[in-house]
Amino acid sequence: MSFYIGREASKLWKRICAETTTEINLLAENWKYLLAGIVFQYIHGLAARGVHYLHRPGPTLQDLGFILLPELGQEKAYISETLFTFIFLSFVLWTFHPFVFKSKKIYTVLIWCRVLCFLVVSQALRIVTFYATQLPGPNYHCREGSKLATLPRPDSIFEVLLINFPRGVIYGCGDLIFSSHMIFTLVFVLTYQRYGTRRCIKQLGWTLSVCQSLLIIASRKHYTVDVVVAWYTVNLVVFFVEKKLPELPDRTNAAATLLLPLSTKDNKDGRTKEENHKLLNGNSVVDPADWRQRTQANGKILEDGHTNHADTAMNGA
């Protein structure tokens, strides 16, 4: 029993090391895209912090969702945040599953490049929208009489740049249309819908997205329009942006194992970075004119023109 556990642990460690080497090579090629996406997350938070200074509390607008859905109240507002945290962490863990499991369909670095691209475009549209029109926030801390509804004039630029994380994000006001929580939720679900393998998890993801939408409205964190706009905007963003992105390489394909050299020695066969990029985009780097039959003899690959000579040598003639 102990021998079996030790053998499986050794296999798992080798799998993790091999995957880490591959992902590091991919990270070296794509770190600029990842860094740009992460920096934009700060810019999005900075924009949400800035619109809070412009927010003016007022009577809550008439909303169909508020009429149909019972109000959860401040005591139960944590339910929607708990569900969002579960969706967020589940997706993050799934993107790192190739390090552990044998069945691998995605590369972690490449999938996060796509996810951040979807997020950046959606959040850019969101920034333009909530700066165009400021609505009185329906959340409890954004209503008239709350000290957090309007921020005092900042004493310095650093007070704005630091965005008072995470309190400034949790208790923000004015960044309504459209819901940031739904942007993340829908991007994650749409990504798994395309690259995930379990049908039951896909169905669960869409079910949780609907529940998340209803809980956001019931918690009075957003108006119904904020959630509705997020549903069709994010789906359209993913649909159109994905057409512009290169297709992810299929890991079940034998060519995917040649995605990147594991060391400088592996690159001595003449494969250039341009060829690796072609493999990365799912294109073949084999010259169609060179599709000739090969014959293997004594561990060497010979051209079809030398086949007879090889057979003669093996027969001792």
226 classed as catalytic: yes
Residue 306 has pLDDT above 60, yes or no: no
Whether the bond between 57 and the residue before it is cis, its omega within 30 degrees of 0, is: no
For 40-95, the pLDDT digits (tens) are: 999 999 999 999 999 999 899 999 999 999 999 888 888 999 999 999 999 999 99
Catalytic residue among 175, 181, 266, 304: 181
Task: Tell me the backbone φ, ψ of residue 301, rounded to 5 degrees.
Answer: -90, 120
**N residues, the chain:** 317
CA nearest neighbour of 106 among 243, 258, 251, 246: 251
CB 16 within 8 A of CB 100: yes
For 86-140, the pLDDT digits (tens) are: 999 999 999 998 898 887 888 999 999 999 999 999 999 999 999 999 899 999 9
Note the Cα 175 to chain centre separation in Å.
22
Task: Give the number of C-alpha atoms closer than 13 A to the C-alpha of residue 63, restricted to the C-beta side.
Answer: 23
CB 241 within 8 A of CB 118: yes
Note the Cα 122 to chain centre separation in Å.
13
CA nearest neighbour of 11 among 94, 107, 102: 102
Strand partners, 303: 294
97 classed as catalytic: no
What percentage of the chain has pLDDT greater than the value 70?
Answer: 75
Amino acid letter, residue 39: V
Catalytic residue among 52, 55, 222, 269: 222
CA 218 – CA 69 distance, rounded (Å): 6
> Rounded to two decimals, what is the model's pTM?
0.77
Catalytic residue among 97, 155, 226, 309: 226
Grouping H, G, I as helix, E, B as strand and the rest as coil, residue 300 is strand
CB 172 within 8 A of CB 52: yes
Tokens of 52: 């809070």
CA 270 – CA 249 distance, rounded (Å): 21
Q: In the chain, what is the straight-line distance between the N-terminal and C-terminal CA atoms, in Å?
A: 54
Residue 254 has pLDDT above 60, yes or no: no
Note the Cα 44 to chain centre separation in Å.
16
More confident residue, 107 or 298: 107
Ranked by mean pLDDT, which of 132-136, 193-197, 223-227 comes out on top?
223-227
181 classed as catalytic: yes
pLDDT at 168: 64
Task: Tell me the backbone φ, ψ of residue 276, rounded to 5 degrees.
Answer: -65, -40
